Amino acid sequence: MPGGIDFSSNDYLGLANHTGIRQTMVQALQNGVPLGSGGSRLLRGNHDQHEDLEAFAADFFGTEAALFMSTGYLANLALLTTLPGRGDIIVFDAYIHASAKEGIHASLARHKKFAHNDAQACEDAVKRARAQGADKIWIVVESVYSMDGDLAPLADIMDIADRFEAYVIVDEAHATGVHGPDGRGLSCAFEGRSNLISMHTCGKALGQSGALVTLSALLKDYLINTARSFIYTTAPPPLAAVAVQAALKVVRDEPERRQALLDLTQYAHRVFPQVPGSTQILPLIIGDDGAALALAEGLQAQGFDIRAIRTPTVPRNTARLRMSITLNSTAQDIDALALAFNA
């Protein structure tokens, strides 16, 4: 069991223990919703709860269709091993999540990395890909980066995609439920475009499990019938789909939660002015792996659950404490952490 004041989880809105979601799940069980799916979704594992969630999510995120998958890892793997094909080129941010990198390296498409959050470097890479005769170009970014907490220049990325007829895949893992209008993510301004695919994980701000891919109905059908990590995986439990839909309703119906988190995040940035950016992820850069680990262990001994992030997760000599702001902590907890950190 985790212990200490929560400065490490991704349960940003405190929904992992939300009473209303818990009651919804209990009621679903009493109404006979199965605990398990019983198989893959193309066999007997497809349930009404999956399809109800996907319809609700498509409406919530403002997209044509949504596909529910077991994890964000499998969703990224499905997208990047299925959509880009031989003759295509994937252009990706250097700091993209490990699950996306796994999908990229397993893809039949060629790939090219560009400097983190550098729109000009992205454009240069896309230009080279087009000059090399790529059939299709796929740009892969996160909207909020999980280790640095900074934001992708999505407007610039979409402009590049439009000018060079490229597709954009946005991992919204750390934005869903927190950022964008009504917590719909930072790509929501571009939803509905045929060249945009977004992936919203359900295990972070939504407090549940699984992932929702938002995309066109045509691409959804293509993934269902060709993505191996969808076809050959047991479907998520129907009860999980119920929980995710309930969480999305909380995000929609309780905007005060999101505002409270944003207010607490602003407070944390005032207390830790050395951390750039404005999101709920604050990297406290230490540098040396051993020093970061020792500092984390010392803070944990004082009752703070904060973790050291070291190579290879982050570049060498950038080991850090990843401070995560959630509604499981308070302004007083942030003050106490700052005192302990600076002691």
Q: What is the pLDDT of residues 127-145, one digit of tens each?
A: 999 999 999 999 999 999 9
**Residues labelled catalytic:** 10, 97, 142, 146, 171, 174, 204
The pLDDT of residue 3 is 81
220: burial class by Cβ within 10 Å (0-12, 13-18, 19+)?
buried
Which residue ranges make up each domain of the chain?
Answer: 5-16+255-342, 33-252
- Please state, in angstroms and rounded to a whole number, the distance separating the CA atoms of residues 51 and 45: 12
Question: In the predicted model, what is the mean pLDDT of residues 83-93?
Answer: 97
Number of neighbours of residue 212 by Cβ within 10 angstroms: 28
**pLDDT score, position 149:** 96
Q: Give 2's pLDDT tier (boundaries 50, 70, 90).
A: low
CATH number of the domain located at residue range(s) 33-252 in this protein:
3.40.640.10
Topology of domain 5-16+255-342, CATH: Aspartate Aminotransferase, domain 1 (3.90.1150)
Backbone angles phi, psi at 18, to 5 degrees: -70, 125
Are the CB atoms for 153 and 144 separated by under 8 Å? no
Whether the pTM exceeds 0.85: the reply is yes
**Which H or E run includes 59?**
helix 48-61
How confident is the model at residue 1, as a pLDDT?
54
338 phi and psi, to 5 degrees?
Answer: -60, -40
Q: In which band, very low, low, confident or very high, does the pLDDT at 181 lie, cut at 50, 70 and 90?
A: very high
343 pLDDT tier (thresholds 50, 70, 90):
confident
Residue 120 pLDDT exceeds 70: yes
Give 183-213 pLDDT, tens digit per residue: 999 999 999 899 999 999 999 999 999 999 9
Give the tens place of pLDDT for each residue, 98-117: 999 999 999 999 999 999 99
Query: pLDDT of 271-330, one tens digit each?
Result: 999 998 899 999 999 999 999 999 999 999 999 999 999 999 999 999 999 999 999 999
pLDDT mean over 4-23:
97
Q: Burial level of 127, CB count in 10 A (0-12/13-18/19+)? A: middle
Q: Using DSSP, state whether 275 is helix, strand or coil.
A: coil
| DSSP code of residue 115 | -
What's the whole-number average pLDDT of the chain? 96
Q: What percent of the chain has pLDDT over 90?
A: 97
How do beta strands 211-215 and 89-93 pair?
Answer: unpaired
Cβ neighbourhood burial of 236 (10 Å; 0-12, 13-18, 19+): buried
60 pLDDT above the threshold of 70: yes
Q: How many CA atoms lie within 13 A of 189 on its CB side?
A: 11
Phi, psi for 65 (deg, rounded to 5): -150, 165
Buried b / exposed e along 133-170 (16+ C-beta atoms within 10 A): ebebbbbbbbbbbbbbbbbbbbeebbebbeebebbbbb
Q: Coil, helix or strand for 256?
A: helix
Q: Given this model, what pLDDT does residue 292 score? A: 96
Cross-strand pairs, 93: 114
pLDDT of residue 192: 86
